[in-house]
Amino acid sequence: MNDAETRFETLAVHGGEPRPAPDGSVVFPIYQGTVFESALGSSVDDVRYIRLGTNPTQCHLHGRLAALEGAEAAVATASGMAAITGVLHSALSAGDHLIAAGTFYGGTYRFLAEQAERLGWTFDLVDPVDADTWTKALRPSTKAFLVESITNPLIRVGDLEGVARFARSHGLTSIIDNTFATPVNFRPHSVGFDLVCHSATKALNGHSDIAAGAVTGSERRIEEVASVLSAYGGSLDPHAAFLLARGLKTLALRVRAQNANALAVAEFLASHERVAHVSHPGLASHPDHERAAALFDGFGSVLSFRPVGGVGAAEALVKSLRLPYAASSLGGVESLVTRPAAGGHTGPGAAEAEGVDEDLIRFSAGIEATEDLLADFAQALEG
Ligand SMILES: Cc1ncc(COP(=O)(O)O)c(C=O)c1O
């Protein structure tokens, strides 16, 4: 199969699948074993060991992830944070500087705020939509540029093509966290990003039942990330790898349903008199709408909004919703709702950022019937 010419729905089912699979199985099996025999005298590169990510079920998943992101290679990790920290460790050495754009997932910000100094790294936070801030942050020691495809929780879409170009022209490794957009909506390697990482705990797996991460890139860069992961011990357990490979089969269907639900809810909220503000890049009123429409095939499952009436109204609304769980993750088949300023996932970067106020509500659309979600929001807003 020529992956480059295949539509995403087909790629999600068949991309990177060995044909035939072992024993002719339609589903690639779980090899739970930790170690595999290798020929005497073979090199260390031929060692197949679970922590090295070279167990066959792990390798199968790597091929699937690479196919979906349109990359040469991929490596799966024990969590999204293992993917981000693995990538940063592969790109930065002591004395190096990182440019990081956006309000950021709290865990990523916390890692930088708490660990960068002891690792000898420095970093500057810049505005993903304002290239002047990138130029001002650039130093001779700058080695990498980190951005999120859709920022969390303010739901902004930065000048992603500009970031990849800027990084290339200054010899920086460009890194993007594509968790919010997913490869269904946006494939960052196609605009020149060197490394793409994911919390596969979210939409890639989609069923809120494993922790996992993924990194894609060139063979050389993935070898470097894999070597960091094996040194720190961050590979993905084969059973979770199997579940993630299974989740990927329905990725296109799930994400397209989530895109549609999120857009419908965003439009409904935007027209409701008890809602003060809605942020979703699918709305024509969103400041990044045109850029997102040009870059993305869909606008993602997440939106944030503020009800009229401040924090009291926001708390009451979250309690009144019957379908979404009040939980702070995203990307699963079930809708979730959270107040980022009150949730554990908000780090100092987001908490201090302009706009992440107490009354901000984040909604992650699941795959429920659109009419049921709209009816639920209607009753909660009336209450
Ligand atoms: C955008 C983003 N990146 C990374 C992570 C970290 O992922 P994990 O919880 O799988 O470590 C999260 C978690 O919420 C996230 O939202």
Atom of ligand 1 nearest to the CA of 213: 10
C-alpha closest to that of 301 among 261, 269, 351: 261
pLDDT of residue 3: 59
Containing domain of residue 267, as a range? 252-382
Q: Is the pLDDT of residue 344 over 80?
A: no
- Give percent above pLDDT 70 in the chain: 95
Q: Which of 153-157, 183-187, 288-292 has the lowest mean pLDDT?
A: 153-157
Same domain, 182 and 274: no
pLDDT of residue 102: 79
For the segment 253-287, what is each residue's pLDDT rounded down to a tens digit? 999 999 999 999 999 999 999 999 999 999 999 99
Q: Which is catalytic among the residues 177, 237, 359, 376?
A: 177
Atom 6 of ligand 1, residue of closest alpha carbon: 80
**Ligand 1 centre from 155 Cα, in Å?**
15
C-alpha closest to that of 377 among 296, 228, 261, 282: 261
Same domain, 180 and 53: yes
- The model's pTM is 0.96
Atom 13 of ligand 1, residue of closest alpha carbon: 199
DSSP per-residue letters across 187-213: -GGGGT-SEEEEETTTTTT-SS----E
For the segment 298-323, what is each residue's pLDDT rounded down to a tens digit? 999 999 999 999 999 999 999 999 99
Instruction: Round the average pLDDT of the chain to a whole number and report it.
Output: 94
Residue 139 tokens, joined: 């130093």
CATH code (residue 301): 3.90.1150.10
Q: Is the pLDDT of residue 347 over 70?
A: no
pLDDT of residue 355: 66
Give catalytic status of residue 177 as yes or no. Answer: yes
Q: Which is catalytic among the residues 143, 187, 202, 254?
A: 202
Give catalytic status of residue 319 as yes or no. Answer: no
> Higher-confidence residue: 4 or 241?
241
Residue type, 287: P
Q: Which is catalytic among the residues 3, 49, 51, 249?
A: 51
**Ligand 1 centre from 301 Cα, in Å?**
15
CATH code (residue 30): 3.40.640.10
Given pLDDT bands bounded at 50, 70 and 90, which one contains residue 38?
Answer: confident
Same domain, 119 and 218: yes
Same domain, 204 and 278: no
Residues 54-72, mean pLDDT to the nearest whole number: 98
Of 209, 231, 248, the position where a domain reaches its end is 248
Residues 374-378, mean pLDDT to the nearest whole number: 98
Residues 213-222, mean pLDDT to the nearest whole number: 98
Q: Which of 15-24, 168-177, 239-248 has the lowest mean pLDDT?
A: 15-24
- What are the residues whose beta carbons fall under 8 Å from the beta carbon of 220, sequence distance 6 or more? none
Of 248, 283, 315, the position where a domain reaches its end is 248
Residue with token string 């002591």: 94
Atom 8 of ligand 1, residue of closest alpha carbon: 80
pLDDT of residue 114: 96
pLDDT of residue 343: 67
Distance CA 87, CA 173 (A): 10
